[in-house]
Structure 1
């Protein structure tokens, strides 16, 4: 099995990621785990020799048990951050993520994968939740304007 395109040097971590934007019944599919106090997109590391499109479809199936087709590349997110909780606690992280809008199935689903649980957040309530990337509410309003490039950098 190919390895994830991710590496760590001391307290610095780089990761190449692919993630899904899944919208069903006017709600966004997100996941979270007991060790985190926030929600994040379905997705994960791209493996060496794998395209970001292949990775997002694999990750969606692994984390939701559902097979989704890609509608289009929605945005690219360059994310430079540090984390104070969970598995990334104390690390300076640099992540590049390709987010794909997935073709809807028409209904929501429930699923729990290892320590992660699927949640559905109504699009009208997104601003009331701690969802990453933080720009997701703005991004979803502009999905039809072409591929967006988002840069998040801690100051």
Structure 2
């Protein structure tokens, strides 16, 4: 069971997400229903550590067992829902982990989310601002990942 809930006109989720970088590109997912790219990851299960959750989610979505290098961002995201969350106030807390590179962009993905096929896309970091991709702060922050954990709050 994911750590999250839906209440009266509100939605909350605790998420673990991955930053997978290979050859100057970062991995995003996209599906046929949405007009934007989104980071790899998903809900942390009740009783699960965030680091274990991100490894599980990455394996589920990419078909590859990546290892965690380090935690780089804690993101508090406030946004108005769309699609199945249309009209709902949303609040998500996400831990973003930088994964250890493998030296290849080859994946074995066969990922579905809520019954919809997901496709993996390697987007060039230097051109991220040209894409509709979430989280939006990746376009700036991935150009120079620091040595400390950064706390980011957005209203997207």
Structure 1 residue aligned with 2:84: 87
Contact map agreement 1:112 1:118 (CA 8 A) in 2 = no
Secondary structure of 2:146's aligned partner: helix
Aligned length: 151
Q: Deviation per CA, 1:60-104: give whole Å up to 9, x if none.
A: 0001101000000010000010123x3322221100000000000
Runs of 4+ in 1 over 4 A off after TM superposition: none
Q: Deviation per CA, 1:108-127: give whole Å up to 9, x if none.
A: 02423121110010112111
- Cα deviation for residue 26 of structure 1 reads 1.0
Secondary structure of 1:49's aligned partner: coil
Q: Which of 69, 84, 92 is the matching residue for 2:67?
A: 69
RMSD over aligned Cα atoms: 1.2
TM-score, length-scaled by structure 1: 0.93
TM-score, length-scaled by structure 2: 0.92
Gaps of 5+ in 1: none
Structure 1 residue aligned with 2:5: 7
